[in-house]
A and B are shown apart, each in its own frame.
Chain A
């Protein structure tokens, strides 16, 4: 089992009536990889993640995650993976600490061990004692993401699936989560990751796959992909555009221009007065 890839997918297909959401994709992800899974909205990323996590039944194909067969034994797979979904829908009338305890016990950990891990994890995601005792419903989007990430880590998963983990959260929280993820990869945990922020993908991921309309278009390291599209040294954004063959549309919304009238300019302040300054205060310009 130790020699086996962390994720192994063979001819995976998902069909909804006439719509082919995922079309016979095959790939493998090694243990300890930070794997980026890219694609436009509706390309099939989330559907693939859900199937790999045992949350959605595949129409056909084989999947093995953490050495277990997803189709035949989804519960065993769930016991060895962590999931951070795009939208955090959880038991929001529990406190963050209670939610972590609940998650740990659901994974079969001992109560004292759950408490220890919950304390460590909440500290890691920078929750102060007050935050821990607040109800999840009162958390900001960033705090929800962080507590959900802690829930995904409490049982020591071998593989972690992250669906748009940085969507809608602030820069500091993004940086904090990135640091946690990088430390996990350093310990041999596999991370399967989707994001629309290509700079983050380029920074974190060891390998990248691009999916388009359910089919896998390209896979490899960023230099390999650049070579593949004949643009060596290109950024991931350029590779992405070339792989998908998309051209950004431009057009003139003439009625907006007509209604807004001629352009006027407002001078920007060169400095912003601080609150403790003795200088006479100037009002910021009206926007």
Chain B
């Protein structure tokens, strides 16, 4: 308990320091956060207090939980934060059990979210909370927090497991990954596996039926704590099975989490990249040399050198590799496969698939100067125009991601809306245009709002909380601006199926979209190159002090 108390104190101190930072920009970040917290609090209040009276359809409650789930699991990708305030490395020297680090980290994260839940009560009081609803609603709110705590634990366990996977590839770690994925296995089984076994079908049907009867999201029905929280909605009685399930699952999760923390704390960060003999003799692979040779002939040697360095790092940098694995995990398994198999997941329209891909890739595209600022320092010492650095990096990302994205979108559309395949070229052109615009915006973000993720060895630590916080909001606002800029292309794409245009019309739209995207990219990259020259010193300083 002593250690847990200290970890809570530490979290409190960090929150307090972030709140009272002297920087004026922090005030904006705080105000936005309070606003969001109040809105979230209001929704929690409405859903918790009204759902029982059927004033809000029960599926809205499920959808809200699903949204919370998605935020907890995906939000950290956007914010580039692993919430690793209690990085095992910082605490490893103290006599503190790894499981305490795990539990302390999770619970203190929930503590950080408490203003939202506490806010719900204040909103309720302000609205004249009916007295009879007090005990039940309070109990629901408490159980909701318990459920969130368990979700946070699973979320952290998954992250740690990814990191373990990157740190060590031993069988034990693979077993650990399997352990963590057990949390999502019900979901995956439910939505993806088509077993002919009658017994499996029967179990799935029973779980499904129960979830539907109790208006529980299929996203969350694999979490015992969901049933636990739900069980209080009726007459306040606690079904024994749900309670036992919640307790057992919490113990299992915390045990696995402790093991994961321990493995990370005891693992020397070693780069798993081992140069092969032929590489030692011959440098980068032949295809890369060929590709960068072509880039060199087209754009110049410096741009080719930057692009080649970036391509090599894409393959070797543990931060990038972890991002790619996470993208693959979340996108392919949680979103893409369910959507194309038509079972579970997010049923997004075909035209949305490209934007979802961009959202998930955004973190890499918006941080072109890497994650620790080392590259920026190295580049600063070289006599090369900053615009060329930006172009070289963008070229690499473009050549790496864009083809993959286009293949994914084509596959998705082929499964999701085969009747609309005639507009697929337009779909791809719209994506390419959006990708280019985001790449240009990403260059600007990298200069004006960089997010730093440091990586001692294979481990990833979060950047400072206040920076992530403010940068996150600022990026969100700027991305909305980008959305407005891209609106003409979006509207055109939306109108395409309705317009009686032939192939000439399609070609014109494709060309227009591409030209528009290239123009936005060129403007972004040019401005970024100019701004980088002026802000380089400040950027390096920020990376160094964060």
> Which A residues fall within an 8 A CB radius of B?
14, 16-19, 21, 47, 50, 53, 55-57, 75-76, 78-79, 83, 85, 89-91, 93-94, 98, 102-103, 105-108, 135, 137
Contact = CB atoms under 8 A, between A and B. Distances in A.
A55 B94 contact: no
A107 B6 CA distance: 11
Contact of B10 (A21, A47, A56, A102): A102
A232 B109 CA distance: 61
A56 B13 contact: no
B274 interface: yes
Given A55-B265, A56-B268, A91 B2 contact: no
B184 to A, nearest CB: 29
A141 to B, nearest CB: 12
A98 to B, nearest CB: 7
A55 B93 contact: yes
B542 interface: no
A163 to B, nearest CB: 11
Nearest to A17: B274
Given A47-B268, A55-B265, A106-B6, A89 B94 contact: no
A106 B13 contact: no
25 contacts: A16-B268, A16-B270, A18-B274, A21-B268, A50-B268, A55-B265, A55-B266, A56-B266, A75-B97, A76-B95, A78-B93, A78-B95, A79-B95, A85-B93, A89-B89, A90-B90, A91-B14, A98-B13, A102-B9, A106-B3, A106-B95, A107-B95, A108-B2, A108-B95, A137-B545
A221 B93 CA distance: 30
Contacts of A79: 95
B267 A56 contact: yes
B176 to A, nearest CB: 15
Contacts of B13: 93-94, 98
Contacts of A137: 545
Nearest to A85: B93
Interface string B281-316: 000000000000000000000000000000000000
Nearest to A14: B268
Contacts of A85: 93
Nearest to A50: B268
B17 interface: yes
Contacts of A103: 94
A76 B90 CA distance: 18
Interface of B: 2-3, 6, 9-10, 13-14, 17, 87, 89-97, 265-268, 270, 274, 456, 464, 545
B545 A55 contact: no
A106 B100 CA distance: 12
A76 to B, nearest CB: 7
Nearest to B16: A93
A57 B266 CA distance: 6
Given A21-B268, A56-B267, A93-B14, 15 more contacts: A19-B270, A53-B93, A55-B93, A55-B266, A57-B266, A75-B95, A75-B96, A78-B93, A89-B456, A106-B6, A106-B91, A106-B95, A107-B94, A108-B2, A135-B17
Contacts of A57: 266-267
A102 B104 CA distance: 15
A5 to B, nearest CB: 21
A93 B85 CA distance: 11
A78 B95 CA distance: 5
Contacts of A90: 90
Contacts of B268: 14, 16, 21, 47, 50, 56
A86 to B, nearest CB: 12
B269 to A, nearest CB: 10
A96 to B, nearest CB: 13
Nearest to B5: A105
B10 A91 contact: yes
B267 A106 contact: no
Nearest to B170: A17
A138 to B, nearest CB: 9
Nearest to A108: B2
